[in-house]
Amino acid sequence: MYNRSDMIVSKFDLLRRQKAFEERRDLSLRTVAEESGLALGTIQRMNNGDISKIHITTVNALCRYFKLKSVSELIEYQEEESV
């Protein structure tokens, strides 16, 4: 059953920082937008974790950009923890 506190979380910021480290360069949100072909606003929303409406084309572009093999490397479902 769906619970309002269950959520999809983005791993975008971690992926961006990891790519920047591996490539030994600054990787601003603007740079990611330019290199991935996505709008800066889309990249900013992903970075802020606002992925309530994410298009499959966005997921495809980011998986390609970060060279991911699975969508679960980009976004993840987290169920509310029992107290």
Q: What does the alpha-carbon distance between residue 78 and residue 9 come to, in Å, rounded to a whole number?
A: 7
Q: What is the pLDDT of residue 51?
A: 85
Contact 1/64 with Cβ under 8 angstroms? no
Looking at the domain assignment, is residue 1 inside a domain?
no
Q: Where are the alpha helices (DSSP H) in the chain?
A: 12-23, 29-36, 40-48, 56-66
Looking at the domain assignment, is residue 21 inside a domain?
yes
User: Over its length of 83 residues, how does the chain's per-residue pLDDT go in tens digits?
Assistant: 444 556 889 999 999 999 999 999 999 999 999 999 999 999 999 999 888 889 999 999 999 999 999 999 999 998 876 54
Structural domain including 49 reads: 7-78
Q: Which CATH number does the domain housing residue 52 bear? A: 1.10.260.40
Q: What is the pLDDT of residue 43?
A: 97
Q: What is the pLDDT of residue 6?
A: 63
